[in-house]
Amino acid sequence: MPTYFKKINVENKISQSIFKKQRIGLVPTMGALHRGHLSLIEKAFNENDVVWVSIFINPTQFNNSNDLINYPKNLKNDELLIKKISKSIEIFSPNEFEIYGENPKIKKYDFKTIENELEGRFRKNHFSGVATIVSKLLSLFKPNNVYFGEKDYQQTQIIKKLISLEKINVNLNICPTVREKNGLALSSRNNFLSNSERNDSYIIYKSLIQLKNNFNTSNLISTKKEIKNNINKKKNFQLEYLEIADASTLKIQSEINPKNTYRAFICVRVNDIRLIDNILLN
């Protein structure tokens, strides 16, 4: 179908679904689907009357143009994987013009520490770009349920805040991270790892578990140092950050108050590929 009809087609189908009181589920993605995405789509399929998967590589969330150009694309395969779950699942794969018009514009939000800490320190405006596209998708699809993976925990908290700031009527479903056998969190970016880097990347999740196991002891600083040394010893691996942050404000914490809830966040650079993960600590 010509791309400029796609959005009109969605609007018509969504109006019909609302008229028929169907529950609408939305799974926003940037494609290059893996088992993590498929688990979200399966959950959406089990919980809604109609399911839409959007596939759109959103330019406004990339602060590095090479990263945007090189982002993995495989629309044909994505469509096959989705249709294997059910032929009834709808796919929306617009082009940039259809979403943004001539001039992709980012909407500037103020998400405070949720935006500026952790990934925010390394990816300027990334989360405003994510919020810009998610806001557009939620207003187009008017879903009852929207689904995201917990691997991008900071992103889920941004979307939670967006929903509350814009008073959007939708249930936010945050679903467990899906992992390789060795613990590596699934990500479209894993496609860029060599076999040996993929094998070595077990160290990322193992480090999070090590930090969790030491969370109630006083030697957190030495545990962090040990983790950094172990990661940096691996060929092409460099620890970008390993932080403990408050689970709701994402403020980085050095002092721990047992009454609060904390998560550990890690980013490891393997050559130019940034791999992130996180874990609940208490």
Q: Which residues are catalytic?
A: 37
Among 38, 82, 130, 250, contact with ligand PAF (rule: CB under 6 A): 130
Beta bridge partners of 273: 270
What gap in Å lies between CA 151 and CA 274, rounded to an integer? 13
Q: Does 242 bind ligand PAF (CB under 6 A)?
A: no
Task: For residue 87, give both structure tokens.
Answer: 């032929």
How many residues bind ligand PAF (CB under 6 A)? The answer is: 10
Determine, following the binding rule CB under 6 A, whether residue 99 of this chain makes contact with ligand PAF.
no
- When asked if residue 30 is in the footprint of ligand PAF (CB under 6 A), the reply is yes
Residues 57-86 that bind ligand PAF (CB under 6 A): 58, 61
Taking the C-alpha atoms of residue 100 and residue 97, their distance in angstroms, rounded to an integer, is: 5
133 is an interface residue for ligand PAF by CB under 6 A: yes
For residue 261, give the nearest of 157, 148, 126, 119 by alpha carbon.
157
Kindly state whether residue 208 participates in binding ligand PAF, applying the rule CB under 6 A: no
For ligand PAF, give the closer residue by CB, 58 or 278: 58
Interface with ligand PAF by CB under 6 A: which range of 27-35, 68-76, 160-168, 212-220?
A: 27-35
Inter-residue contact 122 to 148 (CB < 8 Å)? no
Q: Which residues contact 73 (CB under 8 A, 6 or more apart)?
A: 31, 32, 57
Closest CA to 88 of 139, 145, 25: 25
Q: Candidates 10, 25, 26, 29: give the one binding ligand PAF (CB under 6 A).
A: 29
- Other C-beta atoms closer than 10 Å to the C-beta of 23 total 15
Complex with ligand PAF: residue 13 or 189, whichever CB lies closer: 189
Q: What residues line the site for ligand PAF (CB under 6 A)?
A: 28-30, 58, 61, 130, 133-134, 152, 155
